[in-house]
A and B are shown apart, each in its own frame.
Chain A
Amino acid sequence: MSEPDAPLLEVSNLSVTFRTDAGPVRAVTELSMVVHAGETLAIVGESGSGKSVTALAIMRLHPKSATITGSITFEGGELLTLSDREMRHVRGNGIAMIFQDPMTALNPVFTIGDQIVEMIRAHRQTPKAMAWKQAAELLELVGVPEPARRAKQYPHEFSGGMRQRAMIAMAIANSPRVIIADEPTTALDVTIQAQVMEVIAAAQRETGAAVILITHDLGLVAGAGDRVQVMYGSRLFETGGLDDVFYRSANPYTKALLSSIPTLGSRAADRLTPIPGNPPSLLRPLPGCPFEPRCSWAIDICGEAMPDLRVVADGHSSRCHRADEVSVSGVDPHSATTASVPIAAGMPAHVAMPVSPVPEVLG
């Protein structure tokens, strides 16, 4: 039905507005993005950027009081106009979701097995016994030891990492084409985080699904994504391949973010360059660019007119009036991408990153 290059999921001009006591709040503004089969798209942003709201909008999990405009097409069909019944057919089946906190996302009064079986039987006519068998197989796939026995246990008997694996098992039960992972590892310890990211990668290999990874952790993105989208103040600020965005960013926010986070390579001698000011108010949005009050590149027009998303290179776009200048300014010497990574992290030797002002030409 769809051509091989056609996007699997396409979002066009999505806007999500909530009604609050203090007035309407637009959490996502005119967002457009595409996801192709099998790829991993990372959506990065801080709190209030709109990244989680976007994910929930794709799954249509927002309350009816939220106003959603624009279009979301999945495998050629429009999602926003589907009835509740039709949408239920898509959730857990075509598009599945992994949530941040496995403790609250799993029902404490049912066993893990029950919940996976429920996920399977909600969409297929599988007989119970077979569904239980499948559930055990899924748990084995995600690395839960003694899967048949543990399927009969309750969520509170699982550790945090195990619960997250169980959620991943639930998500892939029906071989979805898209898996949305909303901050899947934020609540976990770093060594467990590494495990869970591997499980997600394995799940992706097994099902061939596309993964939308929503996170605030740029390190996670660097290790897991193919393409990355940066959101700020309800808007898309930059999108492109990993190398484009990390090494050749055309957006001051992305660059400022990379310069401000401490990494394993940071030394106390290098002062972090923080981003001054506070995140923008979604209640009283400014007329111009939402990042303008904190931006070291800002000029007069930035406070007056919203910049468009402009193409900087093939597959790389940035929302900034000065995108072209920013993209050739090279890598900031303080930025995360210039730090040397310590030996213990697995690098065979110190790898020095180029710090030249000349824009790099990479293969």
Chain B
Amino acid sequence: MTDLAKPPATPADSARSARNSASDAREGLADAPQSYAQLTWSRLRHHRLAIFGAIGLVIIVVLFIFGPWLNKYGFDERNVRDRRQGPSREHPFGTDPIGRDLYVRILTGGRYSIRIAAIVAITSTLIGTIAGAMAGFFGKWVDAVVSQLINLVLIVPALIILLIFSRKFGANPLGIAMVLSALLWTRIARVVRGVVMQFKEQEFVQAARAAGASNMRIVFRHILPNVVGAVVVEVTLLVGTAIVLESTLSFLGLGVQPPTPTLGNLVYQEKGEINNDPIRVLIPGMFVVGIVLFVNFLGDGLRDALDPKTKVEKE
């Protein structure tokens, strides 16, 4: 009676059930195990804009690092004889009012700008992640304190703070980097706080708690790995902002003082020449624009790659 609806078993059945278990195993599973990180990486590799941005950045950085060696002049070497010259074979970008080779200066300036941006990125990330994670995870008064701190920093216009502090601390690259970090950590903190608050309520965190996991374990093992993605995106964008801010400061005459070149203070120096010889202003300016653009492309690509898209078959 119970076999009512079923046809008699045949050899085809057992062959098929063997196929079934094999296909079961294969069913939801791709050819090889792919961790979330690997999946993100493969998505990133196919994102055209991100690749373009990455390549652009690599070219620029390589140029900054190795470029100056191709030219025999030091960045502070003055050849008064050759001052205010246009581009030539000796001086590919020309020389500045006191005879320094602009090619070397611009590329060296790029090095300093990148260095500053890197320090800002690392420091902001450290401070921002810790503050944001604590605020998001512990909530209540911790969150209140951190949030108000963030608001405080955000309310005051960035430029004013920078002006005040750079006079005091910031004539050198490290000083500027510190000042910028003190300003920009808030962006990281806000993102981290949001993500932590979101993940704190997820069921897999509840499951860990139900298994007896300590707070430390939950934060480091469960929440932070999921925060990494959002932070990475924010950091790439932060780098762009840092460079622009540094350049702005230098353009205003503050920031890193000569003879140390940065892209920003080179523009400042040459701004008088903008009518006669615009190329001296354009070149460092273009580098700034280029870096910011490429970094943004990369950031966009990362954001898209990290976004878990639902496949149609899962509906």
A–B in direct contact per CB < 8 Å = yes
Asked whether B4 lies within 8 Å of A332 as measured between CB atoms, the reply is yes
Asked whether A297 lies within 8 Å of B20 as measured between CB atoms, the reply is no
Q: Which of A259, A281, A329 contacts B27 (CB 8 A)?
A: A281
**Chain B CB within 8 A of A357 CB:** yes
Look across to chain B and name the residue whose beta carbon is closest to the beta carbon of A282: B313
**Chain A CB within 8 A of B5 CB:** yes
**Chain A CB within 8 A of B221 CB:** no
Q: A277-B20, A297-B6, A357-B4 are in contact. Are A48 and B12 (CB under 8 A)?
A: no
A294–B23 Cα distance when bound, in Å, is: 11
What chain B residues lie within 8 Å of A334 (beta carbons)? Answer: 2
Asked whether B7 lies within 8 Å of A18 as measured between CB atoms, the reply is no
**Chain A CB within 8 A of B72 CB:** no
Asked whether B312 lies within 8 Å of A293 as measured between CB atoms, the reply is no
Q: Which of B1, B5, B27, B311 contacts A22 (CB 8 A)?
A: B311
- On chain B, the number of residues with a Cβ less than 8 Å from chain A's Cβ atoms is 22
**Chain A CB within 8 A of B89 CB:** no
Asked whether B312 lies within 8 Å of A27 as measured between CB atoms, the reply is yes
What chain B residues lie within 8 Å of A3 (beta carbons)? Answer: none
What chain A residues lie within 8 Å of B314 (beta carbons)? Answer: 47-48
Asked whether A333 lies within 8 Å of B27 as measured between CB atoms, the reply is no
Q: A332-B5, A333-B1 are in contact. Are A47 and B28 (CB under 8 A)?
A: no
**Chain B CB within 8 A of A298 CB:** yes
**Chain A CB within 8 A of B309 CB:** yes
Look across to chain B and name the residue whose beta carbon is closest to the beta carbon of A278: B27
| Closest Cβ–Cβ distance, residue B74 to chain A (whole Å) | 51
A283–B311 Cα distance when bound, in Å, is: 10
Q: Which residue of B19, B309, B313 has the most chain A CB atoms within 10 A of its CB atom?
A: B313
A278–B314 Cα distance when bound, in Å, is: 12
Asked whether A330 lies within 8 Å of B20 as measured between CB atoms, the reply is no
**Chain A CB within 8 A of B16 CB:** yes
Asked whether B12 lies within 8 Å of A300 as measured between CB atoms, the reply is yes
Chain B proximity mask over A226-255: 1 for CB below 8 Å, otherwise 0: 000000000000000000000000000001
Asked whether B313 lies within 8 Å of A298 as measured between CB atoms, the reply is no
**Chain B CB within 8 A of A20 CB:** yes
Q: Which residues of B contact A (CB under 8 A)?
A: 1-2, 4-7, 10, 12, 16, 19-20, 23-24, 27-28, 43, 309, 311-315
Q: Can you pick out 27 interface pairs between chain A and chain B where the beta carbons lie within 8 Å of each other?
A: A18-B312, A21-B43, A21-B309, A22-B311, A25-B313, A27-B312, A47-B315, A277-B20, A277-B23, A277-B27, A278-B24, A278-B28, A281-B27, A283-B311, A283-B313, A293-B16, A296-B6, A298-B12, A298-B16, A300-B12, A303-B16, A322-B7, A325-B7, A332-B5, A333-B1, A355-B1, A357-B4
**8 nearest A-B pairs in the assembled complex, by CB-CB distance:** A25-B312, A332-B5, A47-B315, A282-B313, A278-B27, A20-B312, A296-B6, A18-B312
Q: Which residues of A contact B (CB under 8 A)?
A: 18, 20-22, 25, 27, 47-48, 52, 255, 259, 276-278, 281-283, 293-294, 296-300, 303, 322, 325, 329-330, 332-334, 355, 357
Q: A47-B314, A276-B20, A325-B7 are in contact. List 10 more A-B contacts (CB 8 A).
A: A21-B311, A25-B313, A277-B27, A278-B27, A278-B28, A281-B313, A283-B313, A297-B7, A298-B16, A300-B12
